[in-house]
Chains A and B, each alone.
Chain A
């Protein structure tokens, strides 16, 4: 049933969509924001070690629901299986208002200027990174994004102190909030880094260290990454741009609405979207502009599910690039066991970083930011961080946990991913979700050079821990399977050539006048940092441009 036409419909209330919606609503546009998940509040923080967005032992609290939302995962041996959200291979982020930003760790990194020009930086120096890869320059530079990074830092709210990072790109303004006071791990690692001549500093975080924007400071509990913040001190789109946009009266947020397809006319432009509400009723929402912000896996899926006479292989997919280059991050690093107690139970845990190994590593096309890890909850510790030589159970295991839990520091970082054309999202020909919509099928692998880089940065993490006094160090190494998950990116590449990309430098789908993809799907490469601040900056840039150049009713 068609509803009254609006100026824009934005699909997905995660890190990017609400920013575009806010920019349009502030410019007077009538906007509808559709979100597949629910709207949670700080009261939904259950501090549950076994049910959170980083540990779905008993399921995901912030979506998607376990039943009715399958995907198909194809492993390295070509074996395929239907996976539910909590099962390995699903590559989940979150389905809810705020998306990943409701429950993320909230590191607020700007990418390095070289992250935007990987081909220019490395084509001559490291040719093997370009074999069987789609490593490329972005059509935009760090300088193009700089004002929007700043806007995200101030409008969403970032704390930290990056003045000690000599490797960052130029910035005009400092961060709006100071860092949280250092943890004991921070102090131990800072000494070790200085000993090695490295440049440690306080991680920028989308988290209030002081009251900001009408909300309080972090209470420093250990249930942070994976959880909604109980005191609402973690800054996501759900507690910043969404309420601001709703207050204009120009935005309507509709939750638990699953978009089936983008509706297209004979000229190949969008006329609106068709979606199912929570009762399974099908609606048509006509709109002058459609903005797709569902995350790299679901955005690609939606374009591929939106077919017409002009786009028999899916919207924007004339040259078979939609869904290609799926990439997340390869996290590697090291765990260090210390003689003394290093744990002080002060959240969020992650506190100190170095960017010495982001670029300029000998013979390698990229590197990683390295940081100490968020607080590991006890079950996480026994299931993941445990010394591989320690017994897995019995009297000795209990003794090990008792002694080691507060004496281990994990250091790790997101490796610059070398994109691969065959790591991809397609539509599964058979499996459908609860609404009968074909589901995402994920297949591919990691580029061998990604693994090479990740091995190098893991060794550097080990060095850092040893220099900080660790008496025993063991590495966390990379697997060979395709990466996606919370940092999923790359599936609707931004570029100037419509033959080798899906959207232009302003996130407009090449073949159309009025369809935009605004989220990490457009990332050409995914940087050596957590991607969310870049996602937000791109959203501000695209949203402001659309508000200025677009033609609303």
Chain B
């Protein structure tokens, strides 16, 4: 115990994740699903956006680890103080309202000293990357977003485009 006392204690990641804890996975899932909610097409969570962010938090986004840890804890406590329930347990409308306040920098300053702007922009950018980027980074699972907007996945090398159908069918 004495040896560990000087180190910051690092909570155990959720099963199958590298950085985020189980509680954080749920809170972040609700957050990104508010930004890109499921409808006739998958939402951000089902498209693997939480996995994209988790993976990058141990790679390219390592410098954002503490921002995520803090923001996820604080949005959850803010939700509890507002509605008596954790963020992940709130209905979409309530989550949208909270994120709107953050976007405008009007979140409860007890939890977000800048009104929430920085955390909102960070998660928004990462959510869009995970949802619209390549599946190889863990997001856009099953090409969910590309199917949604109607663009094909990576072509097989040598595909003969000159013969390809020129009219792109309207999605029904």
Name A residues whose Cβ lies closer than 8 Å to a Cβ of B.
46-50, 57-59, 181, 184, 219-223, 230-231, 341, 343-346, 377-379, 381-383, 392-395, 397-398, 401-402, 405-406
| Interface of chain B residues 132 through 161 with chain A (CB within 8 A) | 132-134, 136-137, 145-146, 148-152, 154-155, 157-159, 161
Q: Is the CB of A406 within 8 A of B168?
A: yes
Find the residue from B133, B136, B150, B170 having the highest chain A CB count within 10 A: B133
A58: chain B residues at CB < 8 Å are 56, 59-60, 137
CB within 8 A of B151: which of A48, A345, A397?
Answer: A345
- Confirm or deny: B23 has a beta carbon within 8 angstroms of a beta carbon on chain A: no
Q: Quick one: given A341-B170, A393-B35, are A379 and B149 in contact (CB under 8 Å)?
A: no
Q: Which residues of A contact B119 (CB under 8 A)?
A: none
Question: Do A344 and B152 form a contact, CB below 8 Å, given A50-B137, A378-B145?
Answer: no
**Other-chain contact of A395, B37, B125, B129, B158 (Cβ < 8 Å):** B37
Residues of B within 8 A of A392 (CB): 103, 124
A231 contact set on B, CB distance < 8 A = 157-158
In the complex, are the beta carbons of A394 and B133 less than 8 A apart?
A: no
- List, sorted by A's number, 19 A–B pairs whose CB atoms are closer than 8 Å: A46-B136, A48-B136, A50-B134, A219-B157, A220-B164, A222-B151, A231-B158, A341-B170, A344-B166, A346-B164, A377-B132, A393-B34, A393-B36, A393-B127, A395-B39, A398-B37, A398-B41, A405-B149, A406-B150
A-chain residues with CB within 8 Å of residue B145 when the two chains form the complex: 378
Contact of A402 among B96, B137, B149, B167 (CB under 8 A): B149
Q: Which of chain A's residues have a CB closer than 8 A to the CB of B129?
A: 50, 57, 379
Beta-carbon nearest neighbor of B169 in chain A: A341
Task: From B56, B132, B137, B164, give the contact of A378 (CB < 8 A).
Answer: B132
B168 touches which of A219, A345, A395 (Cβ 8 Å): A345
With both beta carbons as reference points, the residue of chain A lying nearest to B61 in the complex is identified as: A58
Partner of A401, one of B37, B137, B149, B170: B149
Instruction: Tell me which residues across on chain B come within 8 A of A220, comparing CB atoms.
Output: 161-162, 164
Residue contact A345 to B152, C-beta cutoff 8 Å: yes
By beta carbon, the residue of chain B nearest A231 is B157
Q: Which residue of B has the minimal Cβ distance to A342?
A: B168
Of B136, B150, B159, B167, which contacts A219 at CB under 8 A? B159
Chain B interface residues toward A at CB < 8 A:
34-37, 39, 41, 56, 59-60, 96, 99, 103, 124-125, 127-129, 132-134, 136-137, 145-146, 148-152, 154-155, 157-159, 161-162, 164, 166-168, 170
* Complex Cα spacing A346 to B159, Å: 12
A341 to B128, CA, bound (A): 23
B55 to chain A: closest CB distance in Å? 10
Given A222-B151, A405-B150, A406-B150, also A379-B133 (CB < 8 A): yes
User: In the complex, are the beta carbons of B149 and A49 less than 8 A apart?
Assistant: no
Q: Smallest CB–CB gap between A187 and chain B, Å? A: 10
The answer to whether A394 and B149 have CB atoms under 8 Å apart is no
Contact B162 A59 (CB under 8 A): no
CB distance from A81 to the nearest CB of B (A): 15
Q: Is the CB of B166 within 8 A of A184?
A: yes
Residues of A within 8 Å of B170, CB to CB, are 341
Residues on B with C-beta less than 8 A from A57 are 60, 129, 133
Q: How far is the CA of A365 from the CA of B34 in the complex (A)?
A: 49
A contact residues around B136 at 8 Å (CB): 46, 48
Chain B residues within an 8 Å CB radius of A49? 132-134
Q: How far is the CA of A57 from the CA of B126 in the complex (A)?
A: 9
Nearest CB of chain B from residue A224's CB, rounded to whole Å: 12
For the complex, give the distance between the alpha carbons of A378 and B139 in Å: 13
Distance to closest chain A CB from B162 (angstroms): 6
Contact in complex: A230, B157 (CB < 8 Å): yes
The answer for the CA separation of A222 and B159 in the assembled complex, in Å, is 13
User: In the complex, what distance in Å separates the CA atom of A387 from the CA atom of B158?
Assistant: 35
Q: How far is the CB of A54 from chain B (nearest CB, A)?
A: 14
Which chain A residues border B158 with CB–CB below 8 Å? 219, 231
Cβ of B59: which chain A residues have Cβ within 8 Å of it? 58
Q: Known contacts A49-B132, A230-B157, A231-B157; is A394 also within 8 Å of B34 by CB?
A: yes
Inter-subunit contact A219/B96 (CB<8 Å) = no
Shortest CB–CB separation between residue B29 and chain A, in angstroms? 15
Would you give the shortest CB distance from B44 to chain A, in whole angstroms? 10
A184 to B167, CA, bound (A): 9
**A393→B124 contact, CB < 8 A:** yes
Q: What are the residues of chain B within 8 A of A378 when measuring CB–CB?
A: 132-133, 145-146, 149, 151
| Residues on the A chain within 8 Å of B149, using CB | 378, 401-402, 405-406
- The distance in angstroms between the C-alpha atoms of A406 and B169, with both chains bound, is 11
Q: Which residues of A are found within 8 Å of B168, using beta-carbon distances?
A: 341, 343-345, 406
Question: Complex Cα distance A377/B153, Å?
Answer: 12
B133 touches A50 (CB 8 A): yes
Chain A residue with minimal CB distance to B43? Answer: A398
B159 / chain A contacts, CB cutoff of 8 Å: 219
Contact A402 B157 (CB under 8 A): no
Q: Could you tell me the distance in whole angstroms from the C-beta of B122 to the nearest C-beta in chain A? A: 13
Residues of B within 8 A of A222 (CB): 151
Please judge, given known A-B contacts A345-B152, A406-B150, whether A379 and B128 are in contact too, CB under 8 Å: yes
Residues of A within 8 A of B36 (CB): 393, 397-398
Q: In whole angstroms, how far apart are the Cα atoms of A397 and B170 in the complex?
A: 19
Cross-chain contact A382 with B128 (CB below 8 angstroms): yes
**Bound form: Cα–Cα A279–B47 in Å:** 42
